[in-house]
Structure 1
Amino acid sequence: MITLRPSDLAREHGLSAQAVRNYEREGFIPPAQRTQSGYRIYTELHVAALRVYLSLIPGYGCSAGGQIMNALHDDELDGALTIIDRGHDQLLRDRDTLDAVRRAVDHLTAESDADPPHPTAPVPRTIGALARRLGVTPATLRNWEEVGILTPARDPASGYRVFRPSDIRDAELAHLLRRGGYPLDHISTVVEQIRTADGSDALSSALDDWHLRLRARGLAMLDAATHLSHYLGLLRTGLNPALAAPGTARTTG
């Protein structure tokens, strides 16, 4: 069995030795055995664990990646698989949202608020209904309104916001771009551009960029699955005695 130091694990990924120790403390890699003088001893299991954790981040994010590793080291395989399933479900929903926005873009040049209402046009929604549709809070939509992303009309009788089909389109676009990491001021600029006749190019570019991000995330998930499968095989061989005792997965030493 090979034995390694924290710096040995760190070197492959351009990390610091302290980062490796931090990952051990958080349970992202198994606890190391110690020499009589207290130095950590890492093995091929730790090498594989670090590769898994770092490969999970591009596909699932730091938080979910850490939760997956914690679940594995706590012998909760079903819990880890559930987190992975949620990541794939979110990716699918993001793809569906992207497709929905693309369909809306196809009608940008053919529809405007001045056009007569189409018999199949969506019924205008309240802020609560639109928030539920997007899975955000009403406060988020009010924030988007403050920065100019949304410009809902007001009911003359009640004063309540009334979200028209174009507002729903803008909200869906904002939600998509927000998930893609775009700042609000950029989203506001893009939405304003597509409200004009020559703004479709900016929107198309943004959607193409997000499509590439979704593809990269999907490929990252495939790459992580390869590392994860290998790591699970190593765990089943019981290479690390420290994992054999319940409750020893996360240490502070």
Structure 2
Amino acid sequence: MPLRPIDLAREHGLSTQAVRNYEEAGILPPAGRSPSGYRHYGERHAAALRAFLALVPGHGHREAAAILCAVNSGALERALRLLDEGHARLAEDRRTLAAARTALAHLPDDPPPAAADRPTHIGPLAHRLGLRPATLREWERAGLVAPSRDARTGYRVYTPAQVRELRLAEQLRRGGHGLAATAEILHRLRDAGGPEAVRPTLTAWQARLTARGRALLSGAAALHACLDLMERPATGDHPDGL
């Protein structure tokens, strides 16, 4: 039985224009046309729309669109590769979260208040962390820290908060984590307001990763159903346009 644009739209609370836009973007297969020129869709179009909307929460609109466009153009291997990349990104985010938790658990205690109140220069800081000054300069270029400069000498000056961030960075780097992942964790730390404040952020981050993992599963299931339907011979008086 043919379906009208409004039939597809109503199922998902969309406008008929959105359905037409998805078809024009290649997210839906080309629609059939009645003798009077009206679009008519079929179950394959409905399945493609369900798959796309199920993929969006886990992969994002752009990637979900690319997956359906690949499917509709017959590039199944590309579609599967895009799915794999979405799962790989989630796995990397999980590793980054685990690294943040481990590093925070092993972060040394703060120095005594008198020492904590004093800024420090790159030489003494490198010695304290067991690093070379060149390493700290490399981390600065990678965006891990942005020390100020002494107005008189031009030397780098690190605040107590930056010293603590660099201790965390040293833990992460020792654990084999790259500069980009380390910078991401430090960014989250700054947004949260410090090591203790970041712990609820990490809990929320974990919840988002769990939701994203569930969304990836839902999207894959909907896409599997779509592919299964598309592999069947088209039947009925109104082909689905495949």
The TM-score, its normalising length taken from structure 1, stands at 0.70
Q: SS of 2:128's equivalent?
A: coil
Counterpart contact for 1:33–1:242, Cα < 8 Å: yes
CA distance 1:89–1:205, change in 2 (3 Å):
same
* Amino acid corresponding to residue 229 of structure 2 in structure 1: L
Give the number of the structure whose residues are more often helix, by fraction.
2
- For the pair 1:78 / 2:89, whether they are aligned, the reply is no
CA distance in 2, matches of 1:122, 1:91: 34
Who is 2:59 aligned against?
A: 60
- For the pair 1:37 / 2:46, whether they are aligned, the reply is no
CA distance in 1, matches of 2:147, 2:46: 54
CA distance 1:38–1:167, change in 2 (3 Å):
farther
Write out aligned runs for 1:34-183 (5 A): 34-108=33-107, 110-111=109-110, 117=128, 119=130, 124-127=135-138, 131=142, 141=143, 150-152=145-147, 166-167=165-166, 169=168, 172=181, 175=184
CA distance in 2, matches of 1:83, 1:128: 32
Who is 1:138 aligned against?
A: none
Structure 1 vs Structure 2 CA RMSD: 3.5
CA distance 1:168–1:32, change in 2 (3 Å):
farther
Which residue of 220, 223, 228 corresponds with 1:225?
220
CA distance 1:160–1:226, change in 2 (3 Å):
same
Superposed CA offset, 1:138-172 (max 9, x none): xxx3xxx9xxxx44366999867998672484785
Matched pairs, number: 212
Who is 1:246 aligned against?
A: none
TM-superposed deviation, 1:94: 0.4
* Amino acid corresponding to residue 31 of structure 2 in structure 1: A
CA distance 1:188–1:76, change in 2 (3 Å):
same
CA distance in 2, matches of 1:172, 1:161: 24
CA distance in 2, matches of 1:111, 1:123: 24
* Amino acid corresponding to residue 223 of structure 2 in structure 1: L
CA distance in 2, matches of 1:164, 1:124: 14
Q: SS of 2:28's equivalent?
A: coil
TM-superposed deviation, 1:37: 1.0
* Amino acid corresponding to residue 229 of structure 1 in structure 2: H
Unpaired segments ≥5 residues, structure 1: 132-140, 244-253
* Amino acid corresponding to residue 57 of structure 2 in structure 1: P
* Amino acid corresponding to residue 175 of structure 1 in structure 2: E
Counterpart contact for 2:58–2:212, Cα < 8 Å: yes
Aligned sequence identity (%): 39
Counterpart contact for 2:42–2:240, Cα < 8 Å: no
CA distance 1:161–1:33, change in 2 (3 Å):
farther
Who is 1:235 aligned against?
A: 230
TM-superposed deviation, 1:225: 1.4
Superposed CA offset, 1:164-213 (max 9, x none): 672484785762597xxx8xxxx7442xx21xxxx50x211111111111
Unpaired segments ≥5 residues, structure 2: 117-124, 170-179
TM-superposed deviation, 1:235: 1.3
CA distance in 2, matches of 1:83, 1:161: 45
Counterpart contact for 2:103–2:168, Cα < 8 Å: yes
CA distance in 1, matches of 2:54, 2:141: 36
Q: SS of 2:77's equivalent?
A: helix
- For the pair 1:3 / 2:2, whether they are aligned, the reply is yes
Counterpart contact for 2:107–2:167, Cα < 8 Å: no
- Bigger radius of gyration among the two: 2
CA distance 1:123–1:110, change in 2 (3 Å):
farther
Q: SS of 1:126's equivalent?
A: helix
